[in-house]
Each structure stands twice: as structure tokens, then as C-alpha cells.
Amino acid sequence: MASYVTKRLSIGLVTLLLASVVVFAVLEILPGDPARIMLGMNASPETVATLRQEMGLDQPAPLRYLDWLGGLVTGDLGRSYTYSTPVIELVRERLAVSLPLALISLFLSTAVAIPVGVFAASRSGKLSDTIAMGTAQIGIALPNFWLALLLVYVFAVGLQWLPSGGFPGWSNPLQAIKALILPAISLALPQAAILARVTRSAMIETLGEDFIRTARAKGLPRRKVLWRHALRNAMIPVLTILGLQFSFLLAGTIIIENVFYLPGLGRLIFQAINQRDLIVVEGVVILLVASVILINLVVDICYALVDPRLRTGR
Amino acid sequence: MTIETPIFTPEPEKHVLRRALSRPSFVIGLAITLAVAVMALVSLFWTPYDVTRVAVAGRIQGFSWAHPLGTDHLGRDILSMIMLGARNSIAVALVAVGIGMGIGVPLGLWAAAKGGWMDEVLMRANDVIFAFPSLLSAVMITAIFGPGAVNAIIAIGIFNVPVFARVARGGALAIWPREFILAARASGKDGLKISIEHILPNIANLLLVQATIQFALGILAEAGLSYLGLGAQPPMPSWGRMLFDAQTRIAIAPHLAIIPGMAIVLTVLGLNLLGDGLRDAIDPRQRRPR
Amino acid sequence: MKSLVTVFGAAAITLASANAALSARTDLVIGVVLEPPHLDPTAGAAGAIDEILYANVFEGLTRIGPNGEVLPGLAESWEVSEDGKVYTFKLRAGVKFHDGTTFDAEDVKFSLDRARAEDSVNAQKVLFSAIDTVEVVDPLTVKVTLKRPQGSFLYNMGWGDAVIVAPESAETNKEKPVGTGPFRFDRWARGASVTLVRNPDYWGEPAALEKAEFRFVPDAAAAVPALLSGDVQAFPNFPASDALEQIKADPRFAVVIGSTEGETILAMNNAKAPFDNLKVRQAISHAIDREEIILGASNGLGQPIGSHFSPANEAYEDLTGLYPHDAEKAKQLLAEAGLADGFSATIKLPPTTYARVGGEIVTSQLAEVDIKLEIIPMEWAQWLEQVFTNKDFDLTIISHTEPNDIDIYGRDGYYFGYNNPEFKTVMAELDATVDPEKRNELYRKAQRIIAEDAVNAFLFQLPKVGVWDAKLVGMWENSPIQANDLTKVRWTD
């Protein structure tokens, strides 16, 4: 087992290193001079040159890459060109929005999807199953930004129950949570639809297995078998999807954070790309990539713990 | 990041299709998909109005005989724009899937046939691509090359490559140990020949199902990109940008936002139903969604 | 769909009555589109910096008033020598910076010398180019000697780039701005908002507001719900002019259409064929339908212009009739230029709504005279690099928001590639003229030259669409400079 973990870990690190090269190289060819953008239309060429030097942009690319990589290892992601603050601090500020948003969405989607999935599986083939899965199909087809648009106009503009966007900060936790509800629903619903379908099919598979039949034969109540025995065993594929969804939620919020103008990671990176704040883009992308790799690593190791056959294969 | 590959018994296409057609969800999906496709095809040679000409004086109209779905903020006919938008969505998603299959499937087959370090390298490369959140990378790609339909296709296409590579590899690995492959090997055929002649036909159904799913995802991704202004550029209409243009006017003219949104939902729904129906028909035991 | 609208209406009424019950408040949330990159107006061109800090946190020797007039600022009065070269400023006594240090003549000398220094990163160094020396006469008197007389010097000293900073805090202003204004910087939640609080030790009349939060609402789509839901109470520059109908009908809000210094133009690359041909440029000017563009791109609110000059300025001359919309005339001119079959070109559009929508309309209009345009949208970063810096473009749409900036037509190497010695002579004369009447005459002459040369197609003056809570008074109607001066803003009730 230890050697398997070591192997997975080293693969993860190699992937991360390759990804860092890709990120850096891609951003090198991004057109647009950050110094010019910071100074604006009427700045003189000398002023721009001075600033370029100040920002270290006159150094050759490989040198800057090594410099950046060295910083990464020590947890220093550099200093934002536009905000002139350490990138790590920006990330920390933005995570205070994105992480809770991702967690609330994850909670919402799980809270809706698992009961619906289990219910549909238990009624497999019946009308209620068809209705539940038909709704899920529509949910999967919903573009989350369109859902967001409709939610804002009903719940923020129309009913005025919830704010239409923006984020007041965590000094007022109630307001902060309120600001995250609509974005979280927009993100969670399409994900919940996918999760409900995965849960359902995993449950149907598990319900067909011998130990469930044995449990039923022993006279355990149907409800108990469903929730205790079957669900526990159906959790593995469900957890895999949850792992994937979490990294999606953390990164895939670019559009939703734009709709609700939330100061989260997604918007930070969108703005940074447009303003050519390359050091921020590099830092955030590599952190997101690292989190994806980490989550997959954890899922893989969990798998191996459950199913020893996987340790030798692949 | 393990994508399970269903193990199934290959069977003639005819049976699959007959079984599929007996499923209502497949028939509904097929009908929607065909309707959208027909709309897109018709738009190639006819739309009710020319959307490249604006007529600002007649902007934001409701439903009427002259404009069945009204007009937008520049006085363009929405029905015509929806038709052209269908063409744009389908074209982008279709080519993106084509890129994914064209590159991903050969890579996957190759990895399965060779095994060893080649397999390892290819799969690691896949891991690197998979590690990038796809929408994020699409935004970066379009930022580099500039917004536009072609770059949207590339951005979406790149992320289809590892998906098809995995599906093809997984499918192929399940078939390689089978007897008829052993027989083919014994008769002296090399890996390339076996992959093309025996493996590919046997995983075609699997690839088709994945293609429908990726096609639907492609439509959603295109809508997202063009909503952010990174997809097809005017005067070519796109559903995502129609939504973007509509959102400031949603309270005065909600139909501007509702119609393109419905178009996206219906199209994606149709394709997903089609894909599910196919999968169930291919392997009734394996009713596993994405 | 209808019921949805009814729901909105009903909810609007409920909120209106709920609000009336509140007593006069002293806090305000102001929506601004762009987040500033940092908070030092003397170290960056971003208008977003001035929009928050100008006149609120930082003050200059002079200040620009709501209608573009030059008013006393930190200098309570000044004298100009006969030859127009020496300005002696009398400074206000008892002024303190927010960190408690005293404001005096040394700070003025420091600020002006810093701005015009060799290694200065001031984005508008040209404002200080006429300055020869800055001398401290006594703690409350500063003498500025110019290399040559400059008619616009007092105006220049009122720009956000010319505000007075203290040597003790100049280096940290980007993060923690320290000025002399009626508001102090409180907090910057990056990506969300900047908060200012009232400065109790202000030298002048204290502000009525205790707290002002500038919230970043990046796009038009988000601005509408933010306003309607009451989250944001004022948008000095409301980005969604297409939603105005609905807001105007709502008694909760005041909608004020003012003017800006933003001349919106269809800029052409005069240095590149076929746009180097006067007839082609004239043909384009005839081919566009200004009214339709104004209707589509500014919801009918923009004022048509026929040259690069603000209609609000007293030297303005109406040249909008020079090239009436006439497709036949345009075709004829194109034929005379040897382009009877039209031609293809690109139009590169920055991300603002007026440019993107205007670009779609222009493309459609030029297609009528067989000029086929390919639309290339870009972010500011690319636009600045490709169009503005590298001059790699055919056509673009852009609003020039700097006040009184007709002199850009006389600059060498400016992006639209115009070069006319006659125009340069007029500009040189203008620079050396102090008499207002003569200056106005020269301005008129300059407007005519560039209009006759059809350097660009002049579209409209960007409107300032201010939308705020109807109970709020003291907001600026016009924006002679990019600023949101909150000194006189208060809630009524």
C-alpha cells in the first residue's frame, strides 16, 4: 500500500510540475503588455519602460520561470502587478468567498441529490422514478448562468428576499450567507441533477447484489436496507463524482461569480486575464490545478483502500 | 479520476437501433435533436430576415405575425437569430467533438495496443489536461488567440481529446484479451491492423454514446463562452450572446432572455436523452449516466 | 411573462413605502464599474482611481467644479505675472493630512517635483511639462515658474494626477491613500469595494455623509438588479442605459442625463490605405447614420457631434451637418477614390457597451455601401497594445474621455495617424494664448480643420447617465472630469 501511495504521489507531483510549465508557457504568449495596461493610454514610452523594469519584466523567460517555481515551493506566489499586493494574500481573500460558496453548493447539491437518487432507485421503473429522472435531465441541460439570471429577477428584484449580487464580507455572517444563497443554488442545481442520476444507478446496482438480497432475506426492514446497507455501498461512485464536482465548483465559478459580481477566485482570474496580471493568473491556476490533483489523489487512494485489486493495475 | 468502462458484448447495429426506438426518451431526444438540426440546416439558405442588417428603430418588439418571436435591441428578428444560433451551436460542438474523437481515439487505441511506457506517457499527458478546470482553460485560450467561433472550437475540442482517449483505451483494453483478438494476432496481424479492423468496430457504439454526451456538453460550453463574449462574433448570432444582450432588459422584455435559454435547454436535453437511450439500448444492464 | 412583471411592480411599491419610514441616513453605497488597480491618483491613468478619491480624499491646488470651471482648492488664491509665466499660489492655512501631518508649501513643491521627475510614473506627465521651477517662498506661498505661458495651467493643476501628497505617505498611497480631503480612506476589500469615512478634521465644510462605500459592479447586467433591489443607492455612471425606461418609470429613482468629456468617435487609421484617402474617410462619414448609432449605442441619449469637441464647451461649433447620412453620396465618393466595388476592413472594439453595440450598427451601415467589416472584439489590454500603441487597426470605436483633448490631433505618432501642419500651428498658437476670446476662436478653427479632413467619423458625446435614489441630493449631473465629488452629497428627509 505504501508503495502505491508513493507512486500516486510522485505521479501527482510530476503532473503538477508539467502543468506549471504549461501555465507559464501559455501566459508568456498571451498578447498585451502588463506595464502598458497599468499606465493607460497617455503614458509615455519611458514611463512604461521604467515600470517594466520595476516589475522585473525585462528578465528572460526561463529565469522568471525558475524564480516563480522557487517562490511556489516556499509558498510565495509573487506580487500582483495591478494590486501590488502578494498574490497569496489575494487568493486568501478570494477563497473566503469561493470556498464557502463551493461548500454551500456542494452541501445543497448533496442534500437534494442523494435523497432523490435513493428514492428514485427504490421506485425504479415506476412513475415517480420517471418524473424524478426527467426533472434531473432538464436540470443537467440548464446553463447555470441562465438559471442565475432567472433567480436574480425572481428572488432579488421581484421578491427582494435576497441580494442581487456583491459580497458584504464576513464581518456580518448573516448578510454574507444571504449573498451566497442564490449563487450557490445556481451552481448546485445542475450538479445535483448529475449527482442524483449517479446515486440512482449506483443504488440500483447495489440493490441487485447478493448481500442486499441476504439482508432482505434475513427480514431486515426495506427502509433500513436501503439507507444503511445499500447507500453505504453505493457511496464510492457518488464520492468520486463529488470529488470531481468540488474542483469544478471551486474553479468553474467564473461565470456565476461574474453574474453575481462576487469577489471570488473565478472573478479574480477572469479579471487578471483581461488585465494581463500574469503573476496572479499563474498563481491561481497552479493552485487550482494542485487542488484538482490532490482531490483525485485522495479519491484514488480511497479506492485502493476499498478495492485492493486497483493497487496493482493501472 | 477513474472512468469506468462498461464491458459489453458487441452486437449488430440493427438490434441496437430497434431497441433504442422502443424507448420513449430516445424517441423524444431524437425528435428534438432532429428539429434543431433541421432548423440549423434551413438557416443555411433561408431565414425570415437578414440579421446582418440592423434596424434600431424597430427594436425590442414583442410577438407578432411579422416577427413571431419579436425583435432584439437592434431590431433584428429573433426567430432568425435562433435559427442561426442553432447552426452556430451545432457547428461549434460538432467540430469540437470531431477534434476530440479524431485525436483522442487514435491515441487511446495506440496506448491500449502498445501498453508499457507509451501508455504511461499518454495517460500522464491526459492527467495534465484533466487537471485544468476546463472553462478556465477555455477562457485562457480565447484570451490568447482572441475571441471567435474557431477559437471556441479549439478550446472546447482540446478538452474532448482526453475524454475520448480514455474511453477508447478503456474499451480497447477490455477487448484485447478476447479470443477473436488472440486469433487475429495468431494470424500475424500487427497492433495497428487489429486496432482498426477489430477493436474500433467493437467500441464504435461506446464512442457514439460518449460523442452524444460530449456534443451536449459542447453546446453548453459554447453557450458559456459566448455569454462571456468569447464565442462567435457578431453579426453571427449565438445563443449565449443573445442571453448576455438580453440580461439588462430582462424586466422589460423577458422573452429576449427566455427564448435563447429555452433553446439551449431543449437542445442539450434532446442530445442527453438521445445519448441515454443509445446507452441503454447498447447495454441494458449498464444504465449508468455520466 | 406578464405575471412576472406584475410581481416586480408590486414589490417595487412595497419597498418604496418601506423606505419612506427611515429617517435621514448618513451612509451611501455608490456603484462604480471599474475597480482601481491601486489608490494613488498620481501614479496611474486609471479613471477608476479618480472616481473614488478625487476631491474626496485627495485635493489639488485648484479643483474642477461640477461644470468644468476652475475653483480654488488647497490654494485659496493665486496671482499670474504679466507675461503669464509666473504663478504665485497662496495656500490655505490650518490644513492637515489624514495622518496628522501639516500641509504646507513644502508638500506642494514635493508633489509637483515628484510628478515631473525623470523616473516619475505619473501617467499625465504632459500636464507638468511647462513647469520650469517650483519655489517655496514661505510655508503658505508657492511660486511656480513656467518655461512658456500655458493657457491651461490652472486647469491642469485641478486634474486628479496633480493632487498634493505628503512626502511621509507618498510611497504608501497605493495601498493606504493619505490626502487632505473631507473623507478618509477606511478599507479596501479587493474585488468588492472601497470604503471612505468622514474626516472630522477637515479644513472646510465637513461632509454630510459619514460613510461612503464605492462598490464595484462590473457589468451592466448586474447594475440593474443592484439598483432595483436597493443594494446600491447611486450609480453616477449607470452602465445599463437600455434599462432606463424601466427605472425612469420608478418614482424611487432620479435619472439625470448629463454630459461628459467623452467624444465618441469611429476612429480611422489615417496612415493606412485606403483610409489615407480623404474621399474614403468622407464616404464613411456619409455612410454612417449617426441617429441610428445614438439610438442603439446610447439609447438615444448621446448628443451628436461633428468634430472632436464637447457641446458643453463655450467654444463648441456645431459641425454635425457637414456629412449628412447619404449612402448614394458615399458610394459616389468611394467610386471617385477608385473603390466603386467597396472594400473589406476590420473594426477592433474595446469592451464597453457603446463600442460593442456601436460596432454592430456601423458594420451594418457600412455594408450598405459595400464596405465589409469584420468585427474583432478585444479586452482593454489588447486594445491598448494593438490599436493604441502599435497602431495595428483599420477602424475602432472609442470615447476619448479626457477633457479638452483636441490637441491629440496635433500629436506625432498618435494612434489614428493624422498629420496636418496647419492643425499643429493652431495648437502651438493656442498653447501660447491666454486671452479666452482668442483661445475660443482658435478652438473653433481646430474643430473645423479636423471635421473637414474627416479624420475620424465623429459620432456622439457620451452621455453621463446618473441614476440614484430620489432622496439623494448633491450628486454631480455632468462629469467634466472623471470624479465623484461627494462633498455636497446628503440624504433628504
Residue A158 DSSP code: I
Chain A touching partners, 3 or more CB pairs below 8 A = B, C
Residue in chain A lying closest to B288 (CA): A201
Sequence-separated (6 or more) residues with CB below 8 Å from residue B201: B10
B289 contacts chain A (CB < 8 A) = yes
- The 10s digit of each residue's pLDDT in B110-129 is 888 887 888 888 888 887 88
DSSP bridge partners of C213: C29, C195
B32 contacts chain A (CB < 8 A) = no
Q: How confident is the model at residue C179 (pLDDT cuts 50, 70, 90)?
A: very high
d(CA C348, CA B216): 32
**A186 and A219 both lie in a single domain:** yes
Contact yes or no for C343/C283 (Cβ under 8 A): no
Stretch C14-18: mean pLDDT, rounded? 41
**A25 and A169 both lie in a single domain:** no
Residue in chain A lying closest to C46 (CA): A40
- The 10s digit of each residue's pLDDT in B144-193 is 777 888 888 988 898 889 889 988 988 888 888 888 888 888 888 888 88
Cell numbers that stand for C66 in this block: 461640477
**A233 and A95 both lie in a single domain:** yes
pLDDT score for C326: 94
Chain B residues with CB under 8 Å of A293 CB are 127, 131
- The 10s digit of each residue's pLDDT in B179-234 is 888 888 888 888 888 888 888 888 888 898 889 989 998 999 999 889 888 888 88
Last residue of a domain, one of A33, A53, A74: A74
Cell numbers that stand for B228 in this block: 462571456
**A35 and A132 both lie in a single domain:** no
Helix ranges (DSSP H) in A208-230: 210-217, 222-224
Domain of residue A136 covers: 87-312
**A176 and A105 both lie in a single domain:** yes
Q: Work out the minimum CA distance from C332 to partner chain B, whole angstroms.
A: 22
Q: Which of the residue ranges A157-161, B87-91, B184-188, C400-404 has the most confident prediction, judged by mean pLDDT?
A: B87-91
Q: Testing the interface with C: which of A42, A89, A162 to mutate, by most C Cβ within 10 A?
A: A42
Q: How confident is the model at residue B79 (pLDDT cuts 50, 70, 90)?
A: very high
pLDDT score for C17: 41
pLDDT score for C22: 47
Residues 354-413 on C with a CB inside 8 Å of A are 379-382, 384-386, 388-389, 402
Count the Cβ atoms, other than its own, within 10 Å of residue A181.
Answer: 17
pLDDT score for B12: 55
Closest to C355 in 3D by CA, of C382, C385, C375, C325: C375
Whether omega for the bond prior to residue B235 falls within 30 degrees of 0, making it cis, is yes
What's the predicted TM-score (pTM) here? Answer: 0.81
> In CATH, what number does C261-462 get?
3.10.105.10
pLDDT score for C8: 40
pLDDT at C198 exceeding the cut of 80:
yes
Chain B residues with CB under 8 Å of C295 CB are 56-57, 59
The upper half-sphere exposure of residue C238, i.e. CA atoms within 13 Å in the direction of its Cβ, equals 33
pLDDT score for A86: 87
pLDDT score for C151: 80
Is A294 within a domain? yes
Chain B residues with CB under 8 Å of A255 CB are 135, 224, 227-228
CATH topology of domain C27-33+176-258+464-491: D-Maltodextrin-Binding Protein; domain 2 (3.40.190)
Residue in chain B lying closest to A20 (CA): B128
pLDDT higher at C37 or C5 = C37
**A64 and A101 both lie in a single domain:** no
pLDDT score for A309: 57
Domain C261-462 in the same topology as domain C58-168: no
**Sequence spans of domains, chain C:** 27-33+176-258+464-491, 58-168, 261-462
Q: By mean pLDDT, which of B57-71, B138-152, B189-203, C135-149 is the weakest?
A: B138-152
Measure CB to CB from residue C123 to each of A39, A152, A159 and give the nearest one. Answer: A39
Count the Cβ atoms, other than its own, within 10 Å of residue B45.
Answer: 6
pLDDT score for A121: 85
Sequence-separated (6 or more) residues with CB below 8 Å from residue A279: A68, A77, A78, A79, A80, A81, A87
Chain C residues with CB under 8 Å of B261 CB are none
Structural domains in chain B plus CATH codes: 19-286 (1.10.3720.10)
| Helical pair A2-28 and B116-131, crossing angle rounded to 10 deg | 60
Closest to C460 in 3D by CA, of C314, C315, C350, C306: C306
Residues 199-238 on A with a CB inside 8 Å of C are none
The upper half-sphere exposure of residue C376, i.e. CA atoms within 13 Å in the direction of its Cβ, equals 18
Is A244 within a domain? yes
Contact yes or no for C325/C290 (Cβ under 8 A): yes
Q: Would you state the torsion angle of the CA atoms of residues B261, B263, B267, B273, taken in this order, to the nearest 10 degrees?
A: 70
Residues 179-218 on A with a CB inside 8 Å of B are 194, 197-198, 201, 204-205
Q: By mean pLDDT, which of C75-79, C187-191, C288-292, C478-482 is the weakest?
A: C478-482
Count the Cβ atoms, other than its own, within 10 Å of residue B158.
Answer: 19
User: First and final CA of chain B: distance in angstroms?
Assistant: 13
**A141 and A271 both lie in a single domain:** yes
Q: Testing the interface with B: which of A24, A137, A207, A242 to mutate, by most B Cβ within 10 A?
A: A137
Q: By mean pLDDT, which of A196-200, C170-174, C248-252, C378-382 is the weakest?
A: C378-382
d(CA C148, CA A212): 96
Whether omega for the bond prior to residue C274 falls within 30 degrees of 0, making it cis, is yes
Is A81 within a domain? no
- Which residue's entry shows cell 481646430? C446
With a cut of 50, list the residues of chain A below it in pLDDT.
313-314
Cell numbers that stand for C454 in this block: 474627416
Contact yes or no for C454/C308 (Cβ under 8 A): no
Residue C221 DSSP code: H
pLDDT score for B98: 96
Stretch B82-96: mean pLDDT, rounded? 94
Q: By mean pLDDT, which of A40-44, B245-249, C61-65, C297-301 is the weakest?
A: A40-44
pLDDT score for C348: 94
Strands C371-377 and C343-349: parallel
- The 10s digit of each residue's pLDDT in A241-273 is 777 777 677 666 788 888 888 888 888 888 888
**A67 and A150 both lie in a single domain:** no
Provide the b/e sequence for C269-301 (b: ≥16 CB within 10 Å): bbeeebbebebbbbbbbbbbbbebbbbbbbbeb
d(CA C166, CA C169): 6
Q: Work out the minimum CA distance from C331 to partner chain A, whole angstroms.
A: 35
Sequence-separated (6 or more) residues with CB below 8 Å from residue A3: none
Task: Give B212-250 as a DSSP string.
Answer: HHHHHHHHHHHHHHHHTT-SSPTTS--HHHHHHHHGGGT
Last residue of a domain, one of A74, A107, A126: A74
Closest to C114 in 3D by CA, of C54, C161, C59: C161
Q: Is A62 exposed, middle or buried (0-12, 13-18, 19+ CB in 10 A)?
A: exposed
Q: Do C190 and A85 touch (CB under 8 A)?
A: yes
Across chain C, mean pLDDT equals 88
Q: Do C45 and A159 touch (CB under 8 A)?
A: no
Cell numbers that stand for B79 in this block: 426567430
pLDDT score for A251: 60
Q: Work out the minimum CA distance from A21 to partner chain B, whole angstroms.
A: 11
Contact yes or no for C72/C205 (Cβ under 8 A): no
Domain with residues C58-168, CATH architecture:
Alpha-Beta Complex (3.90)
Is A19 within a domain? yes
pLDDT score for C100: 92
Q: Count of domains in chain A?
A: 2
Stretch C192-213: mean pLDDT, rounded? 92
